[in-house]
Amino acid sequence: MRLDKYLKVSRIIKRRSVAKEIADKDRILINGKTAKSSSKVAVGDKLTIHFGNKTMKVSIDEIKDTTKKDEAKDLYSVIEETYKQSYE
């Protein structure tokens, strides 16, 4: 499955267009390597996603084409979430 579609289906990122934009700005890594929105993901892959002041590391547990909101959390496991402090 494409990275941007997986991020939307799993609801890590709400919109596929936003997922595509973030990936194409080199802010997502798959198993430590820079990923584009068209990169393929598989069960067992580790994603590192850099949002504004937040970095999220997740492990892909399952892949589905569609899912209900309640079941979306079952598609991945959060390994680590870190926040950068703003000193302004």
Give the domains, in start order, of the chain with CATH numbers.
3-83 (3.10.290.10)
**Segment 33-82, tens digit of pLDDT:** 999 999 999 999 999 999 888 999 999 999 999 999 999 999 999 999 99
Q: Which two tokens stand for residue 14?
A: 């709400």
Q: What is the pTM of this model?
A: 0.88
26 near 8, Cβ under 8 Å?
Answer: no
Q: Can you list the alpha helix ranges (DSSP code H) found in the chain?
A: 3-9, 16-24
Query: What's the pLDDT at 86?
Result: 64
